Amino acid sequence: MLKEPRLLTALDILSALMILVAAGLVFFYAPVEQLMGQVQKVFYFHVATAWVGMLGFMVAGVAGVQYLRTEKEKWDITGLGAVEISLVFFMTAIILGSIWARPIWNTWWTWEPRLTTAAIVELIYAAYLLLRSGVDDPGKRARFAAIYAIFGFFSVPLTFISIRLLRTIHPVVIGNAEAASQGGFNMDDPMKIAFFFSLAAFSVFFVDLLWHRIRLGELQSKVNTLRIQSYEKES
Amino acid sequence: MFSRLLVPDTFDYMIAGYVVLSVVLSIYIASITLRWKQAAAKFRTYQEDK
């Protein structure tokens, strides 16, 4: 149980290599955008981290459905792991966006639709962790978390489409941008390669981290069972 | 030459972005590693007690 599977070690190496190649493409292959300068290079990993955040919230929703169907603990552990990882990545995406916005929009933060809905999503899933810790009974906690993750996921597509439906200054890089958007740009081929490779690299990194997090959850669950058995033996 | 002069200098913001990304992800990876080591130590202890 403690020994790391070979496939996971291979995935560790693959994800590290892919992130390094993605960074190489971003810094040395993709050209400098002429209107924004070097800060535009933040965009590649900003979108990739936001994508991983949304992917993890979706995995948590699917794990929630699976838990309600089967009541197997592994789905609860998967959901918790996916939310935890996604919170980290989504928060990183928000911070990277804020750093990009300072020279481009001349402000760190503005309450426009994309930033507001992204902040709401982050708070919804932070509440997921807080509320989980408030329920002692493992079965109730898992059921509650599963239902919360399913309903919580409805906020994620809302964030994704907010810049396509509402009047906003947030740029849309793929698809048609709102006329009021500021900081948008057309990607040339080297930019597209760096962009899509970054998305792929972070997706592999997410799978790798989730696998580690699930193993950790299973080990913690096993330790908890052994602790209870040990306590019962003593008393 | 002329167009290069017009490109704004936003290098510091780019560096700040990648530093934040590296620090946050490193902390998270370290937290998973530490929690794994702690749980593994407890697991071994309970296994020995069994």
pLDDT one digit per residue (tens) for chain A, 235 residues: 788 999 999 999 999 999 999 999 999 999 999 889 999 999 999 999 999 999 999 999 999 999 999 999 999 999 999 999 999 999 999 999 999 999 999 999 999 899 999 999 999 999 999 999 999 999 999 999 999 999 999 999 988 888 888 877 888 876 665 556 676 777 889 999 999 999 999 999 999 999 999 999 999 999 999 999 888 888 7
CB contacts of A1 in chain B (<8 Å) are 43
Of A200, A211, A220, A205, the C-alpha closest to A81 is: A211
Q: Residue A82 falls within a domain, yes or no? A: yes
C-alpha dihedral, A121 to A157 to A117 to A125, nearest 10°: 0
Label residue B6 by pLDDT band (50, 70, 90): confident
Are residues B8 and A103, on separate chains, in Cβ contact within 8 Å?
Answer: yes
Q: Residue A212 falls within a domain, yes or no? A: yes
Residue A205 near residue A55, CB atoms below 8 Å:
no
Residue A36 near residue A24, CB atoms below 8 Å:
no
Distance CA A76, CA A66 (A): 9
Q: Residue A1 falls within a domain, yes or no? A: no
Q: What is the pLDDT of residue A18?
A: 98
CB-nearest to B10 from A91, A95, A103 is: A103
Cα B47–Cα B48–Cα B50 angle in degrees, nearest 5: 65
CB-nearest to B39 from A99, A102, A220 is: A220
Of A107, A109, A118, A3, the C-alpha closest to A50 is: A118
Domain extent, residue A168, equals 40-229
Q: Which residues contact B49 (CB under 8 A, 6 or more apart)?
A: A230
Model's pTM, two decimal places? 0.92
Q: Residue A207 falls within a domain, yes or no? A: yes
CB-nearest to A226 from B11, B18, B43 is: B43
Are residues A92 and B25, on separate chains, in Cβ contact within 8 Å?
Answer: yes
Q: Residue A27 falls within a domain, yes or no? A: no
Q: What total of structural domains would you count in chain A?
A: 1
Q: Residue A185 falls within a domain, yes or no? A: yes
Q: Residue A25 falls within a domain, yes or no? A: no
Distance CA A87, CA A56 (A): 9
CB contacts of A209 in chain B (<8 Å) are 28-29, 32
CB-nearest to A100 from B7, B11, B17 is: B17
Are residues A38 and B14, on separate chains, in Cβ contact within 8 Å?
Answer: yes
CB contacts of A49 in chain B (<8 Å) are 21
Residue type at position B44: R
Q: Residue A156 falls within a domain, yes or no? A: yes
Per-residue pLDDT reduced to its tens digit, A172-215: 876 665 556 676 777 889 999 999 999 999 999 999 999 999 99
